[in-house]
Chain A
């Protein structure tokens, strides 16, 4: 029987939230299309500890490919693992998160399985048994409906664009054996550098972002304080990044990250078209800016026309007060 395969991603012994989103979506798509859903975990010994959690989002069949050599990410080996499992399970739909890892594996698997690929999708409809895939193009300035012509379809889902719906079940775990060649390990991760506890703007549910009017890297501290109270991440406009206030991995916009958080708070950002393209699909947008003509107010749900240096600390205090 044909199946739908969801590739779950884990780091530091924990499954990623975006994988729960993909599993939830995969469970409902599989039901609509009449496919059996499987979650695939690839990795070293740490995988055994992840199967229970993987079964909490509507799919109980967990497949594992484990090998001590897979405890560090090696893109070609992981791609071989996913492709081999997809073949063994006659998968016709393969879902991944549109993360650094998911985007890379998606493209590999597409070539290995002669499958159509749609990356970074924000909508996936399967009612009536037909798959309809929608993805933003031109950095969110347009939405495209993509026809996937091949019998096998690989789809990566944008983090935060789909809800993770908890639906606990007892996992049935099957270890799948895959044979690797030396070539599979010719490109491998030897170290990971993480800013301690730093949340990535692309994955955060709440993003507090600043523009050039912050005036210095030090002044971003007030945005960090606000983000900390909200459990969010700090982003920046291109102007702020080019001025050296933040590093480019925090940049939101057309040549930075394109994000869809639950809440986006734009502080002192005027809203150049390139920036709007990167964040306009946020669910709720708050703008704080002195200039009432700033384009950011045209897409903001809530605006405060005032100096961010007065508003942001007051907002942080108010939120602190209420959390007690």
Chain B
């Protein structure tokens, strides 16, 4: 089984985001970058499929040299090798997907795992972009995944429930929390992540189709009202929700 996992790095979820001086990007000073939490689930799923069906797991990431940390984390979890598509530019999702699709066209993967979205851009589009570019099947927001031969039966999260989806290899699968519990890196993995060098590939994703022209902090909310400190505040709260906020 030839398995790929697409990973990206994102600011640690505890980060306070500050727009940079250019007004378009974030101020990266003091920001700790981590492996996108949903991508960790994707790496775990890839490793589980390999353990059950055999094969090899390749991690792939797009960006400058700072993504190497993210790649190392995935190798430390157990991935066999890595491809680093190198670019200094900020590229958008479709452009990154084209670059990854270029590699996958010759690599011919059976399965490609991604996180259901990255917690920086929150677009949730990458898996579908890849599948559409490669003209293969895609399952998004998977919370359950079973592979029998080349047949996939998965569950994906939808509003208020789940859909049971059936398809066949090759396929791209985007992973949601609940699919699995990602393992911690092992000592052996950490050692391997220091010696295994990713294959470096030049970026060939072409032009971005979107650009961020302005990035601002959301407007601050005015200070709220403390209605009370015991059960007698309940009547006043209901009055305020009715008459002032008009939401009930």
Contacts and interface: CB of A to CB of B under 8 A. Distances in A.
Contacts of B215: 137, 142-145
Interface string B215-231: 11110010111111111
Q: Which of B121, B156, B235, B248 has the most CB of A within 10 A?
A: B248
Interface residues of B, number: 81
Q: Which of A107, A111, A146, A263 has the most CB of B within 10 A?
A: A107
A140 B139 contact: no
Contact of A119 (B124, B226, B229): B124
Contacts of A247: 178
A100 B156 contact: yes
Q: Is the interface of A mostly helix, strand, loop or mixed?
A: mixed
Contact of B158 (A101, A120, A137): A101
Contacts of B226: 292, 297, 303-305
Interface string B117-155: 001111111001101110101111101000000000001
Contact of B166 (A190, A193, A287): A190
Contacts of B163: 73, 100, 189, 191-193
Given A286-B241, A302-B225, A192 B162 contact: yes
A110 B217 CA distance: 28
A293 interface: no
Nearest to A283: B247
Interface stretch (B50-58, B78-86, B192-200, B204-212): B204-212
A108 interface: yes
Interface in A255-281: 255-256, 258, 262-263, 273-274, 280-281
A319 interface: yes
A296 B124 CA distance: 28
B13 A104 contact: no
Given A145-B214, A200-B159, A284 B241 contact: yes
Interface in A106-122: 106-108, 110-112, 114-120
A315 B238 contact: yes
B160 A79 contact: no
A149 interface: yes
A293 to B, nearest CB: 12
B236 to A, nearest CB: 9
Interface residues of A, number: 93
A75 interface: yes
Given A107-B125, A110-B129, A263-B241, A280 B218 contact: yes
B109 to A, nearest CB: 16
Contacts of A112: 132
B206 to A, nearest CB: 11
A147 B13 contact: no
B159 A190 contact: no
A198 B157 CA distance: 14
Contact of A108 (B132, B228, B234): B132
B185 interface: no
Interface string B25-56: 01000000000011000000000000000000
